[in-house]
Structure formats: C-alpha cells, structure tokens
Amino acid sequence: MSISAINENLLRAIGVGVAVVRASDLSFIFHNEPFAEWFGTPQDGASLTSVLEGLDETELDRVRNEGVKYSVELQIKPKRRTLVFALNISAANSLDEKIMVIECQNITRIRELESMIDSYSTMVERNTRELEREKERVERLLLNLMPRSVYEEFKTFGVVTPQLYENVSVVMLDFVDFTDFAARTDPTITLSELNDIFTAFDRIVEQFGCERIKTIGDAYLAVAGMPDPTPDHATAVAHCATRFLRYLERRNESHPHKWQARIGLGTGAAVGSVVGIQKYVYDVFGPAVNMASRLQVFANPMKIVAPEEMKYALIDEFQVSDLGPEDIKGLGEVSLVNVSSALRASKSKSWT
Amino acid sequence: MSQTIYEKYGGFKTISRIVMTFYEMALDSDQIGGYFEDIDMPRLIDHQTKFISSLVGGPASFSDERIEAVHRHLNISHADFDEMAELFAEALSQHGMSEPDIRTCLAAIEEKRSIIVVRDAA
C-alpha cells in the first residue's frame, strides 16, 4: 500500500470530519464518512459554502491568499438536536494546485456538559449563599447568648472552659414592686415594657464596654472586666448604673407606668462559662455577682449601693457617700456606700 | 436529617449522567420530543438539570407557580406526561437506581401532574 493510500484510509477511519477542497473554486476533492454523515454527501461540483452554510467569505479569502488558519463554530439542527462543530480550515499545497483542508470536530457533548455545569453551579452558588446567610443568622443569635470571645471558643472546640476573672465588677438592677405590677397588669404589657427598658439598658451596657449576662424576670445583670479584662471595670458598671436610673427617670416623665429600680454594684472575682449542652446559656458566678445581688436589696428606690472597696475607684467620677456597715447574708459585715452621678456635668468634663 | 436520593447516589456525579440520558431520550421520543424542538440546547439542559435535581432532592427547587407558568401554554396531555414519567424512570434505572427509589421519584413527579397537564386534557 502506498503512503498516500495509507493516508487516505487514515482520513476515512478517524472520528474527525475531514474534507479537502480546491482553493480556486471551493469544489470538493475529498470528504470522509463523518463529514458526510453530519453535513450530507456533497454533490458533484458542489462548493464548500453551499454544503457548510454560514462560512465567512472574507475569512476564506484570507485562508486562500495569506495562508492563515480560519477557526469557526457551526451549529446544525438535525431532528430537534443542536449539534455544534468546531471547524478549522487551513491552506495546503498539493502537487499541482492550492487546496484547503477542513477539519470538523463534534463538540456537541462538550457544549452540553458546559451548559449543565453552568446550570448546576448556579444552583449550588445560590444554595451556598442561602447557607451563608443562615449561618450569619445563627451566629448573630449565639452572639446574643454569649460574648464573642466565648462564642469563638465554643465554635472551635465545642465546649467552653470555665474561666476565672480576678477583677470584675457587676451591676444588678431590680424593679421595686415588680410582682405587684405584674399581678395587676396584662402580661403582654408587662413584657413589652420590660422589653423596651431592657433594650435601652443593652445599649447603655454596650456603650460602656460591659456585657449583659442575663435577665431573670425583672432583674438585669451586667458585668465589666470579662471576658476581656479592663482596668476601669468599677467605673464602667457605675456609669451603666447611673445611666439606667437617668433613663428610667426620663421614661417615667412620659409613660403611664412609673418604674422604680434598686441597683447593687459588686466587685471581685467571677467565673464565666457556658452552662448546659443542648440549651446552653452563658452565665457568671462568684463573689462579685453575689455581692451585687445582695447589695441591690439595700438600695432605696432609684439609688445605687456599692461596697466601700469600690469607693476609691469611683470617687473621681461619681458622688459617693458613706452608708455605714451592714451585716449581709453570706458576706458578713460590709461597709456600704451610695453612688450617684457627679453633681455638675461640667465637672466630669474637666476630667476628660 | 435523612439522606436524600440525590446524596445516596453520589450527587451531581450521577445526576449529570441521568440528565444526559434523559435529555437524549426526551429528544428521541416522538410523543414529547416535539416540545423541545425549538428550545435552545443550553436552556433545555438547564431546565432538565434543575428538574431532575429537584425531583431527587438535590439543590434546586421550583415553585409550583413557576412550573405551572412555563407549562401552561404547551397544552401537555396526560399521555405526554405518562411518556415523560416513563422515560424518566428508564433513565433512573439505567443508572442503577433501585426500584423503591425510582418509585419515590415518580411519586414526586406525580404530585406535579395537575399543574403540568393542561386542565381540560382528556
């Protein structure tokens, strides 16, 4: 078998459509089976442009005259299907005349798969965005239950190690005659009142870098100095306490329900941790918490009571007056002081 | 959360093959192939990928309103619907899905019959 016969057999056997045309008039010299199967058998004297519609004449001229390669995609639609072909047309020199070689590859399946991947990835991306939003919602919810640093630990390890903080201060607020109020008022009103007030307290607490730990019925508990230690934890809770009372005074001026609160401050050590596994809640325990909750009972309505050991931390920014020693359950005899906001606003300004 | 059929058979890896098989079958079918005559190939593939993924519990969901809106003007008959379900079942079985799982998928399609088939169809 001669080399040219082998070549011709090869061209017939491969899965790529091949045709050879004369460069002069684009008439067919040769085509193989796949080519005929896709585009039909060229009639005698048929030209390339009549068999393959949609070819660019100027591009064909450039192939003919300049020898550049012309690549193009063609679509045909036999029986409902769209078939896509990648065509390469290049010039070649045969023995006696210029010819053009046309190679056609069936890239339908590739295009179909590309479309499917596009479609699928759009769905997946949309789902991913939804999951992302869901995750943010969960995170926001958990951040309401515990401080961020605790949440990070919880997320990473699945548990939170109880941690002791040596120097923290606590503010505990309780409403006067709340039980009476709750008994004679519609529960939904009670709840919306509390919600309103506690929301305001949350803002105050945030403003002074404290953490609201929890509300127990009508009691409100916030801490400073944990989980991030701060040297001015005592003044931070005192600022919160005075702002709480000022907020209530202002609110009472324009609301039918007049709220009176007692506030106790405490200082010392406390442990913070997540309690529970399924229904977890971040909580704090320790002397500082006990102290605040005991002292709160000793406060007159709309007053703030603190232990004497906080006196020197607060004396520069607040009015502090001695109340004398009291015997307090679980703590023994403790000297108490009353804390109120500085007499003149200008005075506190001079310290900044 | 229980495993969906989609996860059970290897997710998109298998679904993509089912989609291609079903696509070929639907185009070849003389009963329903005509509906796909003038649709762009990318759109048709997109449609079938979503359609099959949603039926097996993959990441796609169509609202019933949307399904109804795209089928309303097509005048689809019960015979068309049956043919589609049959081809779909065949495509699933060709890719190794078990009988009970195929029944689950067919039940999922059956739920949509009333909104796909034209209302006064025989």
Q: Which domains does chain B have, with CATH numbers?
A: 10-116 (1.10.490.10)
List C-alpha distances in Å: A186 to A105, A177, A197, A198. Answer: 79, 16, 17, 18
Q: Give the per-residue pLDDT at A81.
A: 80
Shared domain for A222 and A290, answered yes or no, is: yes
Instruction: Residue A97: give the domain boundaries.
Output: 3-106
Shared domain for A101 and A190, answered yes or no, is: no
Annotated binding-site residues of B read: 47, 71
Shared domain for A80 and A169, answered yes or no, is: no
Give the CATH number of the domain where residue A82 resides.
3.30.450.20
Per-residue pLDDT of A312-347, as tens digits, reads 888 888 988 888 888 888 888 888 999 998 765 444
Q: Which of A40, A74, A106 is the last residue of a domain?
A: A106
B33 touches chain A (CB under 8 A): yes
Q: Give the per-residue pLDDT at A150.
A: 84
Shared domain for A336 and A187, answered yes or no, is: yes
Cβ-based contacts of A125 with chain B (< 8 Å) = none
Q: Which of A65, A81, A106 is the last residue of a domain?
A: A106
Interface touch B41/A120, C-beta < 8 Å = no
DSSP assignment of A20-78, as one string? EEETTT-BEEEE-HHHHHHH-PPPTT-BHHHHSTT--HHHHHHHHHH---EEEEEEE-S
Asked whether A311 and A323 are in contact (CB, 8 A), the reply is no
Shared domain for A265 and A328, answered yes or no, is: yes
Q: Over its length of 122 residues, how does chain B's per-residue pLDDT go in tens digits?
A: 577 888 888 888 888 888 888 888 888 888 888 888 877 778 888 888 888 888 777 777 677 888 888 888 888 889 999 998 999 899 989 988 899 988 988 888 888 888 888 876 55
Shared domain for A97 and A229, answered yes or no, is: no
Helix count and strand count (H, E) for chain B: 7, 0
Interface touch A82/B40, C-beta < 8 Å = yes
List C-alpha distances in Å: A270 to A17, A165, A225, A227, B56. Answer: 82, 5, 10, 10, 54
Q: Give the per-residue pLDDT at A343.
A: 60
Cβ-based contacts of A116 with chain B (< 8 Å) = 16, 19-20, 45-46, 49
Shared domain for A276 and A335, answered yes or no, is: yes
- Identity of the residue numbered A64: R
Bridge-based pairing state of the strands A163-175 and A98-106: unpaired
Q: Which of A106, A134, A149 is the last residue of a domain?
A: A106
Omega into B42 within 30° of 0, i.e. cis? no
* Element (DSSP H or E) covering residue A158: none
- Closest chain A CA to residue B61: A123
Interface touch A80/B27, C-beta < 8 Å = yes
Shared domain for A102 and A161, answered yes or no, is: no
Q: Give the per-residue pLDDT at A281.
A: 78
Shared domain for A191 and A338, answered yes or no, is: yes
Whether the ipTM is more than 0.90: the answer is no
Annotated binding-site residues of B for heme read: 47, 71
Cα–Cα nearest to A225, from A139, A289, A294: A289
CA dihedral A189, A192, A193, A199 (to 10 degrees): 180
- A146 inside domain: no
Cβ-based contacts of A121 with chain B (< 8 Å) = none
Q: Give the per-residue pLDDT at A349.
A: 43
Shared domain for A187 and A305, answered yes or no, is: yes
Give the CATH number of the domain where residue A186 resides.
3.30.70.1230
Residue numbers in chain A where pLDDT is lower than 70: 1, 343-352
Token reading at A306: 């603190």
- Closest chain B CA to residue A78: B37
What's the total number of domains in chain A?
A: 2
Cα–Cα nearest to A205, from A242, A168, A257: A242
